[in-house]
Amino acid sequence: MKTYDITLIPGDGIGPELAEVTRKCLEATGVQFRWDVQEAGVDVMAKLGTPLPDSVLESIRKNKIAIKSPITTPVGTGFRSVNVALRKELDMYACVRPCKSYEGVRSRYQNIDLVIVRENTEDLYAGIEFQKGTKECQEVIEFINRYAAKKIRPDSGVSIKPISVFGTERIVRYAFEYARKYKRRKVTAVHKANIMKFSDGLFLEVAREVAKQYPDIEFDDRIVDNMSMQLVQTPELYDVLVLPNLYGDILSDLCAGLIGGLGVAPGANIGSNGALFEATHGSAPKYKGLNKVNPTAMILSGVLMLRYLEEHDSADRLEQAVAEVIREGKDVTYDMKASRNDPTAVGTREMGDAIIRKMELSKAGR
């Protein structure tokens, strides 16, 4: 039987508790893993002076697959977000967030089944920024004012929005390949091409070209503001959405809201050289060490990892076990109970154990 070498980053805040439960659930599928545990985040920063030691990147480069718990972005320390740095360093250009309803999760919506494919490296999030009042910013403003019909005020800060043919082509291609592999019917490109003609306009133009190569999958496009309204009113009309970085970030949270919130929203960052799986939520430091928060988003990120490894049978069994525990509503964390103070809510570990028991039962019944 194959053994997979996986980098496991327990993170900080609620991260380590979630990583432990997720590891146990993944092992309970019967798939064999060799975990390369790598510390990153605020706890390791105190010890090593950096929140992202080189060994973490080396490990992911070697293993090419990582599963990561949330990591706090310290405010005002001069360190950039470890999460953003990891995605950038490893050129993980696609952020994939399936948003699927599970019966029993409290939400205003049922039967949501959407997949967000967000470009991860370009757009206003490329990190190309000029601070108001600096010499560089002044020069950039003077340069632009020389060439553009509209003038930038001298007391402005400037963030640059690059969108390339290369970056767009690979993310849209990824969305179509994903749609084909997972038998989805439609890809929708989301943009604001009517206003930003040379960045979002390029995104749309390239998306249309790529779409022609996938005649088996329906393609359409929507302007991002209209898309936001339609996702709230008629989400069933949509399937896979492909978006530039900023709109992808915002609509990911909107779609997480449709399926019941951050506690249940998994994610994957995919690059040409590897993949990193992580929940959408952050490190919720106030719950650190309390064995309280919902492990679902992290466990479902593990399900995405199993699918990436083509371990579909194990992925199905783990997802099914999560779905059953949520449907029964008994062994679930406080956020999944009708009242947040419900004394019958269980802890993070206990919910994980209930999921493992379900998997064992289904195995015995086969």
Active site positions, annotated: 125, 192, 225, 249
Q: How far apart are CA 243 and CA 255, in angstroms?
A: 13
Touching ligand NAD, residues 163-202 (CB under 6 A)? none
Residues with Cβ within 8 Å of 153's Cβ and at least 6 positions away in sequence, in order, are none
Binding-site member from 60, 71, 258, 315 for ligand NAD (CB under 6 A): 71
Residue with smaller CB distance to ligand NAD, 167 or 261: 261
Q: How far apart are CA 89 and CA 92, in angstroms?
A: 8
Strand, coil or helix: 9: strand
Number of residues interacting with ligand NAD: please give it, by CB under 6 A: 17
Binding-site member from 83, 101, 121, 301 for ligand NAD (CB under 6 A): 83
The minimum distance between CB 280 and ligand NAD, in angstroms, equals 7
Binding string to ligand NAD for residues 18 to 57, with x set by CB under 6 A, is what?
Answer: ----------------------------------------
Binding-site member from 263, 271, 302, 352 for ligand NAD (CB under 6 A): 263
Does 352 sit near ligand NAD (CB under 6 A)?
Answer: no
HSE at residue 21, side-chain half, CA atoms within 13 A, is: 26
Question: Which one of 70-78, 148-156, 184-192, 352-360 is the stretch in contact with ligand NAD (CB under 6 A)?
Answer: 70-78
The minimum distance between CB 189 and ligand NAD, in angstroms, equals 25
Strand, coil or helix: 141: helix
Q: How far apart are CA 64 and CA 196, in angstroms?
A: 36
The minimum distance between CB 51 and ligand NAD, in angstroms, equals 11
Q: How far apart are CA 328 and CA 218, in angstroms?
A: 37
Question: Which one of 32-40, 71-79, 245-253, 311-319 is the stretch in contact with ligand NAD (CB under 6 A)?
Answer: 71-79
Question: Which one of 23-31, 64-72, 142-150, 200-208 is the stretch in contact with ligand NAD (CB under 6 A)?
Answer: 64-72
Touching ligand NAD, residues 200-259 (CB under 6 A)? none
Residue with smaller CB distance to ligand NAD, 86 or 224: 86
Touching ligand NAD, residues 266-295 (CB under 6 A)? 278, 281-284, 286, 293-294
Q: How far apart are CA 81 and CA 79, in angstroms?
A: 7
Dihedral angle sign, alpha carbons of residues 353, 354, 355, 357 = positive
- Contact 97/269 with Cβ under 8 angstroms? no
Residue with smaller CB distance to ligand NAD, 6 or 40: 40
Strand, coil or helix: 270: strand
- Comparing CA positions, the residue from 8, 88, 78 lying closest to residue 40 is 8
Q: Dump the DSSP string for 67-132.
A: EE------TTSSPPPHHHHHHHHTT--EEEEEEE--TTS--S--S-EEEEEEE-SSGGGG--EE-T
Contact positions toward ligand NAD, by CB under 6 A?
A: 70-73, 83, 262-263, 278, 281-284, 286, 293-294, 297, 335
